Structure 1
Amino acid sequence: MAPSSDPQADPRANAEDPQARRPLTREPNTSFRQLRGARSPGEFAAAVRRAAREIGEQVACDARYIGRVENGEIRCPNYAYERVFRHMFPGLTLADLGFSARETVRGRGARAVPGTPPIRLVPWQGHPHHQPSDHQNFQNHEESDVLRRAFMTGSTAAVATVSLGLGPAPVHPARRVGEAEVNAVEEAVRRIRLLDDRHGADGLYQRAAQPLRTAYALLEAGAARRSTHERLHTGAGELAISVGWLAHDSGRFEEARSHYAEALATARLAGDPGLEAHAFCNMSFLARDMGRPREAMRAAQAGERAARLVASPRLLSLLALREAGGWAGLGDRSACEESLARAHSQFARGACEADPEWMTFFVEAELEMLQAQCWSALGEWSRAARHAHRAATAQDPHFARNLALYRAELADDLARAGAPAESAAVGHQVLDLLNQVQSTRVQAMLADTSRLLAPHRASPEVACFLERRATAAV
């Protein structure tokens, strides 16, 4: 375990951590400062917020954020801010705006880069200068020998075999964990989330188990600095949730339950309310899918209690939606509507700096989808279909997995609402995405829809869909 003393007060702690001797460099973003011109940071922040509203984004930009960008503290903006800046300054790249390439940023706020290969984490084995053969694509001077990139080429189907694993060698307990190891764990979380968003969980779950085992081995080895150990606790917990989600989405419910419980235990050991809220959020979702609505409701309420310490309205909104799903499963319309009202109220407060990184998926489309699921559980199929349609319309088509999920929900709701031809048409759209998406959840939803549509086979549209779906399922 990590030492309990503060490393700032104990020079021996820093001596054990070579990362502690690395000087922290920060270069001002002069390009961004020039774009601000004569406007004050507050005035420029207001312009950013106006531009965000123009394109349907919500960013909590203020003078402090502008100052952090200009002094170099924010080396690369998140995707929402990037879209806003590109809208404000058409034709300019991130580099033109003075930012670093996203793949070179390793802080906790960094996002994975679409289309780049996944991270493979390898415990140190005494070869600090070893690089992959294609060093132009993979070389990264900010990382140590514990972090390598590896990937397998091919079509989107290659995601099923892409390596997210850590090397088989155990972490030597005598070697203290440093920044590079923690960065590697955090990057593994981002890669898993990105690949799941794009392609679904089925091909990833087995590959993702090894990074999780190594992350907990790193925890056991301990870190020389308290801040590093805290980040490692959070990273390991988030990785457990990510792997749990892959199990969850691919129908391995008991394995998912175990991973979520592991994350919750890690959160409580670390005293991390954000991680605890995340674990309860996923546990609530899982309980709903397992047909345990009361457990789903109570897990969401427990998550809300933890989330109050995080100061993120969006997190509270999502947990209120999870609670609403539990109430809907119990058939309590009044309690469901009360939870939905709280979810809307919190969501309307907008995004803020306290929003956890993992919540980037929680946009208007997801809000609509979760409402659709509530009304579906209450048997109000037409109302559910309206929300599912809004979700599918609002979803960024870049994220094929969620788009397939929302359309599958819409097809099912339409079938139950007595609109078989419309359901079949949406079902075709889901089938169009299956060459990109590997999700047991989506496949199961299509199977249910097919059973609902079977009595309407006399309709040419329905018959065509059923035949195509049967062929695709073989």
Structure 2
Amino acid sequence: MTGQRNTRLEALLSEFGYTHEQLADAVNRAAEELFGGPVNCTDRQVRRWIAGEVQWPWARYLLPLQKVLGRSPQEMGFIPRKTSRVPAPPDRSASAVQQHPIGRREFIAASLVATLGLDFIPSGGRLGVSDVERIRAIVPSLYKYDHSLGGGALHDVASEALRHVQSSVNHCTYGDRVERMLYSAMGDLAASAGWFAYDAGRQVDATNLYNEALQAGMLSGDGMLQARVWSNLAMQARLLDRDREALRIGRAAVETRQAKSDAWLMALLHCRQAVGHARTGDRTRAQRSLARAETAYERTRGQPAAWLSFLTPAELTGLAGAAHQALGQYRRAEQLTASALQMLEPRFERNRVYYTVQYAQALLDEGDIEHAAAQAGEAITLAGRVQSERVQSKLGDLQGNLRHHMRVPAVADFLEQTRQKGA
């Protein structure tokens, strides 16, 4: 018999950013500390508590719940029976977050998962177009945070969402048309999870996810998805210092029918090819690719796909700066990167750190060491919220390059400040 819904417990889950599954896991971890072993709490039990089917859980659940949420049973919305033994109230001198500190990444992940609507995607029965639309909505929701937080905060969230969708696809029924739509949506999510993994420095995970996205793109016949994955694979190859391979992959993406019909994608591909040509010392091809990127961008209309929403004039200018820097044209790189930073919208926090580092490096390469140190300090300050191993690695390289100039007082001060901060 279902009782009255436990809205207090439901509100606490929302307050602490727990999904049903995550609360169950937290209860099991707390039980191990209390009893020396797990109590096999599941998300199903959490749902029963919230639905009011269980008005007073067993003590083996109540005690860990108190430890996790920092509330008495009644404050959690449970109703004692006459024979119920009320456990001792928790120590209110420490909050639940203090007792079980949740890292920033885990807290963000917990909060995000709760907003993605995964519980509304069926795990059985028949899937329809409305279910595909729910899956499609996951990626734009994630990218709202990617620009500010970086992939380190989102990789686990996207991977969990992908597993949920894959389970639905494997256990539900649907028609041929919906099947193609499902694989396209699932591939979009896999490609996004791959990008977050790439940004987080988890390249093995990124490769596996890109492969899943490519397979989904072929099964759905989604050429745009395939071109997107090829573009990301080219970026990954470049990150791993496989520049020739990156150029070959990028060229394959440029030549696809989908890229030729989508000006947004074509502009991005040509920008990335420009950086690739510059890194191999081919100035002529780099300049040609930059010109083609500008031409393509002039043809863009409407709004880009969610994953392309970072492609603004600031981004194109910043990538042009990266190309000139790779060619050794440091003065031009400095000018372009400074311009990119001026144009960059506040929501692009990660890219602001990225281009601030690029700006500092261009200044350093040009010999303006004091100004470079000042910009490096600005990048350290801005980097506090961003969880991007890619950006942190770039920042680490800059710090290493500045160490060659430790006799310059501004550099010495910068390095001492970063040492004290543990940056």
**Match of residue 404 from structure 1:** 353
- Which of residues 257, 260, 277 in structure 1 aligns to 2:227? 277
Contact 2:238 2:246 in 1 (8 A): yes
- Distance (Å, rounded) in 2 between the aligned partners of 1:351 and 1:118: 38
**Match of residue 449 from structure 1:** 398
- Distance (Å, rounded) in 2 between the aligned partners of 1:398 and 1:381: 27
Q: Which moved more, 1:459-468 or 1:219-228?
A: 219-228
Q: Which moved more, 1:356-365 or 1:179-188?
A: 179-188
- Which of residues 231, 234, 243 in structure 1 aligns to 2:193? 243
How far apart are 1:235 and its partner, in Å? 1.8
Change (3 A) 1:238 1:385: same
- Which of residues 203, 211, 229 in structure 2 aligns to 1:261? 211
How far apart are 1:362 and its partner, in Å? 0.3
1:402-441 CA-partner distances (Å, limit 9, x unpaired):
1111111111222122111111111122122122212212
Contact 2:264 2:297 in 1 (8 A): yes
**Aligned AA for 1:296?**
A
Contact 1:237 1:275 in 2 (8 A): yes
Query: Normalization by structure 2: what TM-score?
Result: 0.70
Change (3 A) 1:267 1:312: same
Contact 1:296 1:325 in 2 (8 A): no
Richer in helix (by share): 2
- Which of residues 115, 126, 150 in structure 2 aligns to 1:200? 150
1:353-372 CA-partner distances (Å, limit 9, x unpaired):
6x433211100111012112
**Match of residue 368 from structure 2:** 419
**Match of residue 342 from structure 1:** 292
**Aligned AA for 2:138?**
A
Q: Does 1:391 align with 2:325?
A: no
**Aligned AA for 1:336?**
A
**Aligned AA for 1:323?**
Q
Change (3 A) 1:348 1:225: same
Contact 1:264 1:276 in 2 (8 A): yes
How far apart are 1:309 and its partner, in Å? 6.1
Change (3 A) 1:457 1:230: same
**Match of residue 325 from structure 2:** 376
- Distance (Å, rounded) in 2 between the aligned partners of 1:327 and 1:265: 29
How far apart are 1:246 and its partner, in Å? 1.5
Change (3 A) 1:467 1:269: same
**Match of residue 53 from structure 1:** none
**Aligned AA for 2:289?**
S
How far apart are 1:385 and its partner, in Å? 1.9
- Distance (Å, rounded) in 2 between the aligned partners of 1:295 and 1:121: 44
- Which of residues 426, 431, 434 in structure 1 aligns to 2:383? 434
1:238-281 CA-partner distances (Å, limit 9, x unpaired):
11111111111121222212211221121122111111111111
**Match of residue 241 from structure 2:** 291
How far apart are 1:190 and its partner, in Å? 2.1
- Distance (Å, rounded) in 2 between the aligned partners of 1:299 and 1:119: 41
1:99-132 CA-partner distances (Å, limit 9, x unpaired):
xxxxxxxxxxxxxxxxxx999799x98x89x79x
SS of the residue aligned with 1:207?
helix
Contact 2:254 2:260 in 1 (8 A): no
SS of the residue aligned with 1:224?
coil
Q: Does 1:325 align with 2:285?
A: no
Change (3 A) 1:455 1:158: closer
Q: Which moved more, 1:200-209 or 1:297-306?
A: 200-209
Contact 1:119 1:188 in 2 (8 A): no
How far apart are 1:322 and its partner, in Å? 1.8
**Match of residue 69 from structure 2:** none
Change (3 A) 1:343 1:243: same
1:5-44 CA-partner distances (Å, limit 9, x unpaired):
xxxxxxxxxxxxxxxxxxxxxxxxxxxxxxxxxxxxxxxx
- Distance (Å, rounded) in 2 between the aligned partners of 1:273 and 1:370: 25
Aligned counterparts, 1:81-120, within 5 A = none
- Which of residues 162, 178, 182 in structure 2 aligns to 1:228? 178
1:327-367 CA-partner distances (Å, limit 9, x unpaired):
222221111111111111111223336x4332111001110
- Distance (Å, rounded) in 1 between the aligned partners of 2:395 and 2:255: 36
Contact 1:329 1:377 in 2 (8 A): yes
Contact 2:105 2:152 in 1 (8 A): no
Q: CA RMSD in A?
A: 3.6
How far apart are 1:394 and its partner, in Å? 0.9
- Distance (Å, rounded) in 2 between the aligned partners of 1:191 and 1:121: 20
Structure 2: runs of 5 or more not aligned: 1-15, 22-42, 52-95
Change (3 A) 1:174 1:428: closer
Q: Percent identity?
A: 29
Change (3 A) 1:396 1:168: closer
**Aligned AA for 1:372?**
G
Change (3 A) 1:153 1:215: farther
**Match of residue 168 from structure 2:** 218
How far apart are 1:288 and its partner, in Å? 0.9
Contact 2:149 2:350 in 1 (8 A): yes
Structure 1: runs of 5 or more not aligned: 1-116, 132-151
Contact 2:247 2:273 in 1 (8 A): yes
Change (3 A) 1:156 1:270: same
Change (3 A) 1:183 1:473: farther
Q: Does 1:176 align with 2:153?
A: no
SS of the residue aligned with 1:398?
coil
Contact 1:200 1:438 in 2 (8 A): yes
SS of the residue aligned with 1:202?
helix
Q: Does 1:361 align with 2:307?
A: no
SS of the residue aligned with 1:370?
helix
Change (3 A) 1:173 1:157: closer
- Distance (Å, rounded) in 2 between the aligned partners of 1:399 and 1:384: 20
How far apart are 1:225 and its partner, in Å? 4.4
**Aligned AA for 1:302?**
A
SS of the residue aligned with 1:431?
helix
